Chains A and B, each alone.
Chain A
């Protein structure tokens, strides 16, 4: 089918863009290393819980893209989960809006060990452009990893998850 061909072209084909490290052809390799690391560490796939801490929703768009046929997280045993009880990793987006602090704290407590918290995107890393606003404040939970970008591209998010797992092996 045409779309399958397109998908494999995107994975293997000519590098489309220079401004987006790492280049797309590394995505497949990245994903495979990530899967191996996840299984070694946990004995099962990695459950990711997305926590919106005041994002503009740009980071969500790129997180959602991780599920498309090009990146296809699920294929590698990585999956988004619906509740902290099933999560290994909390992926926090947004500038730590104070109105989300209580919910973030609760989600962290409800997540079983071993667990990691990732700051995803410039806002979560250091408040990004929202620095200085009355409506944001220091994260109620500590971050194990930060992934920069506004928003980080899907390949950068994959790279970050891999780094997290390899560091904790």
Chain B
């Protein structure tokens, strides 16, 4: 853990639940080099403010996340991208929003800034008016003859978020896949600033609508950490029930969509129905089908409705009736027998190196789940049984999701009758401080870092796991058939909005 000890040797900045480490430029550069020899230390996210660049790291064997920061000197900082490839995308985002340059970065092309905002570097105090006309998107050049390119997007065929895939193909084989994003950039980080945590929660809830509950929990927990005001126990359990319902709805949706794309339409229809029932039960219990804005800093916005538990129970019973058949989707004689095996492989080394989370990581042997490490209430009282596979293909990612359906149902069934008494929210004091929060979405670990000054957010970042899955998706599509691409893409299910901010 060389890089880890280098970080821990640096000066402490007060933050919760763990202090931040502020590294002098030289120590940061040494740490950046040492990361290459520290494979167990995962880089989960990077962000910036006007004067510093931040990195969030985790050693899954240690239940303590590390936030390290370095002062930006002469407009630059040392890139971590040689040791952690995912850092290249964070570098590009940091450059486009704040203007800081990643020294030694492996990729300096624009990312979020397509040249059509009213200014460059919108998050920095040195925002510059746009002078040059927008450039066409830069993709990696084609090398070799007989290679043709497929361009998909930014308006996609079907109900898919805006993004632009470039597939370089030799016949029907994909040689290289590259995804360009930024199309859904909404300026979310800028909108957080100057608002109270309560007012800004709606932006966290809309970073990625499919994980609205999880991101809202991560955000709320960051604000609660910064003000050292934990949510009441009843709120923690209600949040977890919502988060598990969100997981159920999305896993049904993802598995169903893959079944549909692979031709198993009857199975897809059943899963679509189960998803709908979970959404209706969620609306009945919490007032909104996606439970958007139901989680707030300090707790939840309201208690579970009187008929909520019964409605949820009905939706779960419906899935139960079908679960054995869903589990057999891939067995001989099942609707997808063998169709998904061996395609879109993400091997264990790639998953570890990118710190792939959620079902993407857990289908490739990386078992991390932030409900367990670092862990948070109420999962200390309700055990999460991890589902872990190693094959790393589309089949394994579907199997992990199917396995997690049963786990999530078990959690909801244990949580509903054991709801603690008491308030469902507390008011956060208008204090100052820095806090980190996290929550496990259906897609993986979501993180939020906030700095509050007199109750208002001065700086913050919302980290979706999709950042780490994007390079994995590009790799998974390589050497595969063009026809398998939709299955591979859906099995990873990136959130474009989650990355685009």
Contact = CB atoms under 8 A, between A and B. Distances in A.
B186 A61 contact: no
A101 B159 contact: no
Interface size class of A (residues with CB under 8 A): 35 or more
A120 to B, nearest CB: 11
Contacts of A130: 186-188, 191, 206
A69 B209 contact: no
Contacts of B210: 57-58, 61
B157 interface: yes
Interface residues of B, number: 60
B424 interface: no
Contacts, number: 175
A130 to B, nearest CB: 5
B180 to A, nearest CB: 11
B155 A52 contact: yes
A97 B185 contact: yes
A95 to B, nearest CB: 6
A98 B154 CA distance: 13
Interface stretch (B62-70, B85-93, B115-123, B410-418): B115-123
A103 B155 contact: yes
Interface string A128-155: 0110111110000000000000110100
B343 interface: no
A55 to B, nearest CB: 7
A58 B290 contact: yes
B190 A133 contact: yes
Nearest to A131: B191
Given A52-B155, A61-B210, A151 B290 contact: yes
A33 B288 CA distance: 27
A62 B289 contact: yes
Interface in A1-52: 2-3, 6-7, 10, 16-17, 19-20, 24, 49-52
Interface in A52-68: 52-65, 67-68
A134 B311 contact: no
A58 B273 contact: no
B318 interface: yes
A56 B283 contact: no
B484 interface: no
14 contacts: A2-B321, A2-B322, A3-B269, A7-B273, A55-B161, A55-B209, A61-B290, A68-B275, A94-B162, A100-B162, A130-B186, A130-B187, A134-B119, A151-B290
The 6 closest A-B pairs by CB, nearest first: A58-B209, A82-B157, A68-B272, A133-B187, A135-B187, A52-B162
